[in-house]
Structure 1
Amino acid sequence: MKFGLFGGAVLAAALITSNVALAETRVTYKSAKSTSSYYQMAVQIAEAMKKGSNGDIILTVEESQGSVQNVKEVAARTGNYVFTTPPVLVKLAQKGKAMFEGKTNPKYDEIRALFPIPSLTMHFVMRADSDVKTFDDLAGKKLLIGKGSFGAREGAKYIKLFGLEGKVNIANVELGSSVAALKNKQIDGFVTAGSYPAPNVIEAAASTPITLISLTDAQVKETKRTKLMIPSGTYQGVDVATETTSLPVVAYTTTQMDDATAYELTKTYWTQKAEMGESHPWWNAVSGAMLANVYGKLHPGALKYYDEAGIEVPDALR
């Protein structure tokens, strides 16, 4: 069979196209609701992966209704499935507890960690003229905690935990109204959970002087959450460090992902993180030390990168 010049050119082009397609690694990244900061982070990671790998890694971001759904989808997903979740949900899934009771699946044991992303950080934001410095000072104050979110649940939990139930006037409005309500002195403060620096807290600090309530070590221990320090100067006018709590969030995959892909994903994430932080400061809060918050085992490909980079890995993750 003779191709001629034209046929040979077509064949060569087809082979080149085929090689490009084979070189491209496609990954599904299951994130959060499209309106959340974590979906924004997913888009930023997708852009960073494409840039950092010269187009060899293509992340397709999928919206999610939450972390529980992300974990449950492990049972049905194949291939390069990456998802974000607080590590505690991986623990519950593997042990068949809480929302996973009676719904265990052997595929949950195949979950492996890649890298930490910004934590959900609790903020108790107060107007500076409210004179609230500690939780005890909240008695008699009007506080907006929102509805249905992690921050709203944690805020209500802390109010009860620290003996303030019935002593704090809870504003019955949505969190989206918090900045305007604070500025107009309709509330004394609001509670929000987001990776710092949180956009709504930045906005609040720009419109009115604020302070942040700092927890004591004993209070942090009582919440059973992870301690986190928000550095001084993170928010306008807040020139002291704030001790608060956080819910770590980690990007996981499964053993179906090959070691080379896991290695490249992890390496590209960390090498692009500084650049991401230049335009989106919440990435600056992420460090290798946050591996201490991971539950389960690291993917062998990710572990290879951490060992090469000299990032300390807890023995339990190996």
Structure 2
Amino acid sequence: MGKKRLLRLFVAVLSLVMVIGACGGSDEEADGSPSELSLLTGGTGGTYFPLGGELATIIQDETDIENANAESTGASVENMQILQDGEGDIAFTQTDIAAYATKGELMFEDGKMDNIQAIGTLYPETIQIVTLMESGISSVADLKGKKVSVGAPSSGTYANAEQVLEIHGIAMEGIDAQHLAFDELTEGIQEGTIDAAFITSGTPTGALEGLSAIKPVKILPIEDNKISELVEKYPYYAEETIKSGTYGLESDVKTVAVLAMLVARSNLDEDYVYQMTKAIFDNSNKITHAKGEFITADTALEGVGIDLHPGAKKYFDEKGIE
């Protein structure tokens, strides 16, 4: 066989391989939209996972997407990395974490996340500092020297704990910091292996409801002057109140919150994200989770802090919401 025929045969085989490769091995369509939706949430004991399951059902029912899956993850920080790597489609995160990610700050100082855009904010994520009524701990200042769970290193909860402690004049080295998951920290508090824990989650948080059913709990308040200092230095915080009756509390507890939000890969198809955004915010009345009452198009752009995905922007433009 001559050299020219060999070359033509090689080119033909290579072209065939490329065609076959383009037809399989990827869950993403040519227009940028995945054939299945991967919704990244958080731990099973928090708010993201059960709420994410409801949102996935709404998306599946109200759009052409045949299979929408809510996946349990390590929550905000991990979700940002998964989206950046192109291994998820949309995700829950905190507004402060999304800001850090897109600016390359704090836990993202090794590099900016440039593949993440907002869909909209959902509800307040409350900083809850929990201990037992019997612990003798009554204030944030009392945490000095105590065993306190502050979330995984470089997590959103860790950043919140560090900032709240800082405003109270306590460095992370001033406590015996523990890094426990939701289920582990409630077990630790119940068994007395830790004294208190920071939890950043929508209230009521399932893990804390379970704990309060076993032993009376206390949520430590943050004083007004400390809230003012915190908000002034870190503007993504807002004052929040945990209502009496939550976890069996006898009175309201004043604290702070960031916002939970949904974000998407920026390279998802615009119409695909538009359909998801419309499905969620036009059908929020179908959400049975307690946080459903906060999810509304009218407030979904408050505190976003990063660029909107063009598909989400199209929806809010249609609604006349800026």
State TM-score, norm by structure 1: 0.67
Residue 199 (structure 2) aligns with: 192
Q: Tell me if 1:268 matches 2:285.
A: no
Q: CA deviation at 1:264?
A: 1.9
Q: CA deviation at 1:155?
A: 3.2
Distance across 1 between alignment mates of 2:107 and 2:62: 37
Distance across 2 between alignment mates of 1:213 and 1:42: 28
Q: Tell me if 1:163 matches 2:169.
A: yes
Q: Tell me if 1:84 matches 2:89.
A: no
Q: Tell me if 1:244 matches 2:249.
A: no
Residue 157 (structure 2) aligns with: 151
Q: CA deviation at 1:269?
A: 0.9
2:221 maps to which of 206, 214, 217: 214
TM-superposition CA deviations, 1:254-290 (whole Å, max 9, x none) = 55444432222112112333332x2x22333444435
TM-superposition CA deviations, 1:159-218 (whole Å, max 9, x none) = 354135699874868564544555566765433222211112212322233332221343
Amino acid at match of 2:299: A
For structure 1, the 5+ residue unaligned runs are 1-23, 314-318
Report the number of matched residues: 281
For structure 2, the 5+ residue unaligned runs are 1-32
Distance across 2 between alignment mates of 1:192 and 1:102: 26
2:38 maps to which of 29, 32, 44: 29
Residue 282 (structure 1) aligns with: 291
Q: Tell me if 1:52 matches 2:77.
A: no
1:279-318 → structure 2 map (5 Å cutoff)? 280-287=289-296, 288-289=298-299, 291-309=301-319, 312-313=321-322
Change (3 A) 1:59 1:242: same
Distance across 2 between alignment mates of 1:61 and 1:293: 24
Amino acid at match of 1:197: P
Change (3 A) 1:289 1:127: same
Q: Give percent identity, aligned residues only.
A: 17
Residue 42 (structure 1) aligns with: 52
Distance across 2 between alignment mates of 1:272 and 1:195: 20
Distance across 1 between alignment mates of 2:62 and 2:151: 39
1:64-79 → structure 2 map (5 Å cutoff)? 64=73, 67-68=76-77, 70-72=79-81, 77=86
Distance across 1 between alignment mates of 2:178 and 2:85: 40
Distance across 2 between alignment mates of 1:255 and 1:166: 35
Distance across 1 between alignment mates of 2:56 and 2:121: 15
Does the 8 Å contact 2:37/2:65 carry over to 1?
Answer: no
TM-superposition CA deviations, 1:209-235 (whole Å, max 9, x none) = 333222134323444251242441451
Residue 23 (structure 2) aligns with: none
TM-superposition CA deviations, 1:8-52 (whole Å, max 9, x none) = xxxxxxxxxxxxxxxx98453351556463344333321221233
Distance across 1 between alignment mates of 2:180 and 2:116: 36
Does the 8 Å contact 2:121/2:262 carry over to 1?
Answer: yes
Q: CA deviation at 1:115?
A: 2.2
Change (3 A) 1:65 1:135: closer
Distance across 1 between alignment mates of 2:179 and 2:306: 39
Distance across 2 between alignment mates of 1:135 and 1:114: 35
Q: CA deviation at 1:294?
A: 0.5
Distance across 1 between alignment mates of 2:110 and 2:177: 38
Amino acid at match of 1:128: M
Change (3 A) 1:290 1:217: farther
Does the 8 Å contact 2:43/2:75 carry over to 1?
Answer: no
Question: CA RMSD for the aligned pairs?
Answer: 4.1
Does the 8 Å contact 1:228/1:246 carry over to 2?
Answer: yes
Amino acid at match of 2:133: A
Residue 13 (structure 1) aligns with: none
Change (3 A) 1:139 1:42: closer
Does the 8 Å contact 2:126/2:240 carry over to 1?
Answer: no
Distance across 1 between alignment mates of 2:84 and 2:200: 29
83-92 or 192-201, larger mean C-alpha shift? 83-92
Amino acid at match of 2:168: F
State TM-score, norm by structure 2: 0.66
Does the 8 Å contact 1:30/1:70 carry over to 2?
Answer: no
